[in-house]
C-alpha cells in the first residue's frame, strides 16, 4: 500500500506514495504499518536527504478506515499495541518531510499532513476534521496542531462542525504554504525538496529541530534551544566547510558531520 521512489536532481529525495486507490487511501493498519516501515527505512538511509509524502490526485488520504475502526472497543485503542501504534512515526522523523496534498485529506489524512514540515496543496485539495460527525474526536493531533498552525477560532470551527476547507482557504489560514495546479503539485514539491537537499543534511536536521521547538516550548525556552543548537554547529565540519566555501566563492562540499 506504499511505494517508494528515488527522485530529485541528485537522486536524494524519497517520494513516498500512499497507494490504496480503491479506498481513497483510507488509513488502515496495513497501510500505516507499511508507511512506518518505509519512513524508518528512509530515515536510516543516508542517501536520502528529504522526503516528499503524497497520495493520488483524487485523495491524499480520505481519513482513517472507519470500517476497520468501528469494530474497536476502548481496550483496543488504549493498549500499547493498539490501532494507532505506528501512526506517529512521521512526527519523529528527523529529515524534512514535505506533504504534497491532492484531493481529499480528511480526518487522519489532514492529521498526517500536519505531521509534515511543509504542506503544499493541489488546487483540488480538501482538508477537514469530520470526526465529530461520527461520534468521536480527532486522535492524531487534530485538536492540537490546528490551533498551533492556524488559531483557536479556526480550530474550534473546523473540529466542532466537521466543515471542510478548500486548498486556497487552507493557505489563507496558514495550514498550507503554497497551492499549485493538481498535476503540477508533485513536481513542485520535488523542486522544493531539491532546494533543501542542496544544504548540509546535518544542519538541515538541526534547523528542523530548532523550528519544531517553537511549538513545544515558551519563547524564552525556544530561544535557549536555538542558541545551543547554533553553538553546536561550530563543532561540525559542515559549518567550517560552509563558511570557507562562502569566503572562497565556491560551492560547499558537505560531509554530513
Q: Is 64 a catalytic residue?
A: yes
For 201-248, give the CATH class: mainly alpha
Q: Is 58 exposed, middle or buried (0-12, 13-18, 19+ CB in 10 A)?
A: middle
Q: Is 108 a catalytic residue?
A: yes
pTM score of the predicted model: 0.93
Q: Is 157 a catalytic residue?
A: no
Q: Where in the chain is the domain with CATH 1.10.12.10?
A: 201-248
∠ Cα 53 148 228 (to 5°) = 85
The active-site residue out of 55, 63, 108, 142 is: 108
The active-site residue out of 103, 105, 111, 128 is: 111
Q: Which CATH architecture has domain 2-198?
A: Alpha-Beta Complex (3.90)
Q: Where in the chain is the domain with CATH 3.90.226.10?
A: 2-198
Tens of pLDDT, residue by residue over 34-59, are 999 999 999 999 999 999 999 999 99
Tens of pLDDT, residue by residue over 167-216, are 999 999 999 999 999 999 999 999 999 999 999 999 999 999 999 999 88
Average per-residue pLDDT for the chain = 94
The active-site residue out of 34, 128, 131, 242 is: 131
pLDDT of the residue at 70? 84
Q: Is 131 a catalytic residue?
A: yes
pLDDT band with cut points at 50, 70 and 90 for residue 80: low
Cα separation, 102 vs 32, in Å, equals 19
The active-site residue out of 61, 64, 105, 189 is: 64
Amino acid at each position: 500500500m506504499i511505494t517508494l521512489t528515488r527522485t530529485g536532481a541528485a537522486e536524494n529525495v524519497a517520494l513516498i506514495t500512499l497507494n490504496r486507490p480503491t479506498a481513497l487511501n483510507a488509513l488502515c493498519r496495513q497501510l500505516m504499518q507499511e508507511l512506518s516501515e518505509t519512513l524508518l527505512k528512509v530515515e536510516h538511509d543516508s542517501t536520502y536527504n528529504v522526503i516528499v509524502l503524497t497520495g493520488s490526485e483524487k485523495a491524499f488520504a480520505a481519513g482513517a478506515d472507519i470500517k476497520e475502526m468501528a469494530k474497536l472497543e476502548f481496550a483496543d485503542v488504549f493498549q500499547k499495541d493498539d490501532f494507532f501504534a505506528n501512526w506517529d512515526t512521521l512526527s519523529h522523523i528527523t529529515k524534512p518531510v514535505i506533504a504534497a496534498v491532492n484531493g481529499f485529506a480528511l480526518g487522519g489524512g489532514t492529521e498526517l499532513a500536519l505531521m509534515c514540515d511543509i504542506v503544499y496543496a493541489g488546487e483540488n485539495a480538501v482538508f477537514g476534521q469530520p470526526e465529530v460527525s461520527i461520534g468521536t474526536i480527532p486522535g492524531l493531533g487534530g485538536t492540537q496542531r490546528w490551533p498551533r498552525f492556524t488559531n483557536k477560532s479556526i480550530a474550534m470551527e473546523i473540529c466542532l462542525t466537521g466543515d471542510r476547507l478548500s486548498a486556497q482557504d487552507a493557505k489563507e489560514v496558514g495550514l498550507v504554504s503554497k497551492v499549485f495546479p493538481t498535476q503540477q503539485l508533485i513536481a513542485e514539491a520535488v523542486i522544493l525538496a531539491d532546494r533543501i537537499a542542496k544544504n548540509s543534511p546535518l544542519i538541515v536536521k538541526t534547523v528542523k529541530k530548532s523550528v519544531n521547538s517553537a511549538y513545544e516550548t515558551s519563547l524564552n525556552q525556544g530561544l535557549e534551544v536555538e542558541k545551543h543548537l547554533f553553538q553546536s554547529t561550530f563543532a561540525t565540519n559542515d559549518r567550517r566547510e560552509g563558511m570557507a566555501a562562502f569566503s572562497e566563492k565556491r560551492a560547499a562540499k558537505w560531509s554530513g558531520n
